[in-house]
Amino acid sequence: MPFITIAGQQLHYRIQGSGFPVLLGHSYLWDSAMWQPQIEALSQKYQVIVPELWGHGQSGPMPEGTRNFGDLAAQASELLNALHIEQCAVIGLSVGGMWGSELALREPNRVKALVIMDADRGAEPEATFAQYSQMLNTIESLGLIPPPMIEAIAPLYFRRGAAPDSELIVSFKRSLAAFSAEQLRQSVVPFGRLIFGRPDEVASLSALNSETTLVMCGEHDIPRPPSEAIRMAEAIGCRHVLIPDAGHISCLENPAFVNRELLTWLDQHVGMDAKA
């Protein structure tokens, strides 16, 4: 479980397997364990690297001056530099897809294949922006995520109708309650403001390579609905895939489907490098 110092803070990351490098970016309010089914499947053929967001998992606080996806992409680039990785594939879900797509825009020669999952580079809709802003203000004031808010947040990450007493949802609720006041105030709240205050940059995605970019989305994703994924795919001119029986954390709700799609995609676009 190695660490690297970036902008004066300790970034924690997981690394498993060997072969062509695949960088995984996880969702807000989660950690590297969100990708466990994919780490197990992809690391059989590839070197899988999973950095944890600032203030999430074992990573330290968000560095001062981190304001946008460009800053997050630059920090990911620093990690790749430290690992002497010249080329990689990037698979990002939610905010991972947001900074992952920015990394591909900035360093197209480094990112050989890109998968954007359950993410959006458009601006947050006005109604949800107001709702999330109010939540963040409350969390900052209290230094905790109050139980009623946990009950409201958790269902957003899963498909409608998912059993509220499932281990997946119950364990996520426990993780939300476990954030310390320091984590919340130094990283989680500022991260939320960065994500939900993002500008509309869908048009910029047209600069991505349509042949090496794939957009995926849970067909029942609540915060990042399929309409957003389709809009991004149209801007890029690339293929999109809807993940059946899955909401926002599609990689955990339908891991078998996601693993098949990702392995097929990687084999098609970086497979020769994996065998080299």
pLDDT in tens, 220-275: 999 999 999 999 999 999 999 999 999 999 999 999 999 999 999 999 999 866 54
> CA 209: distance to chain centroid?
20
Is the model's pLDDT at 128 over the cut of 60? yes
Is the model's pLDDT at 31 over the cut of 60? yes
Q: Which domains can be identified in the chain, with CATH numbers?
A: 3-122+201-271 (3.40.50.1820)
User: The whole model's pTM is what?
Assistant: 0.97
Single-letter amino acid, residue 267: D
CB 54 within 8 A of CB 187: yes
Mean pLDDT, residues 19-25: 98
Mean pLDDT, residues 166-193: 97
- Average predicted confidence (pLDDT) for the chain: 96
CB 73 within 8 A of CB 95: no
Strand residues in 121-262 grouped as ranges (E): 213-218, 239-243
Which residue(s) pair with 68 in the sheet?
Answer: none
pLDDT tier at 49, thresholds 50, 70, 90: very high
